[in-house]
Amino acid sequence: MTFVILAVVIVIVLAAIVALPTIHIDASAVITSNAFSYIRAGLYFFPMGTVRAILGIILVLWILRVIIAFIKMIWDLLPVA
């Protein structure tokens, strides 16, 4: 029953999203090109290998946290005395 209600809500939301007008963003605008050039200049000084390694470690730790929470949830649902 819950699955049917969820499916109906998803269909309604998707229909509303499809009805929205399409927005096109011009990437060659003066403001965005200046902003992107400043971002590129700032990122030039970061050691991207180190940043990528740090972000990878953070991602792996979050995935591990989710897996441990899932296992704990399953363990709490088991009728173990």
The domain of 15 spans: 2-77
Separation of alpha carbons 8 and 2, rounded Å: 10
**What is the residue-level pLDDT of the chain in tens, covering all 81 positions?**
788 888 888 898 888 888 888 777 666 655 566 777 788 788 788 788 888 899 999 999 999 999 999 999 999 898 876
Separation of alpha carbons 67 and 61, rounded Å: 10
Both tokens of 49, joined, read 């290998």
- pTM, two decimals, is 0.45
Angstrom distances, CA of residue 66 to CA of 48, 59, 61, 69, 80: 27, 11, 9, 5, 22
Alpha carbon 72 to chain centroid, angstroms: 24
pLDDT value of residue 15: 87
What's the structural domain count of the chain?
1
pLDDT value of residue 41: 82
Both tokens of 42, joined, read 């700032």
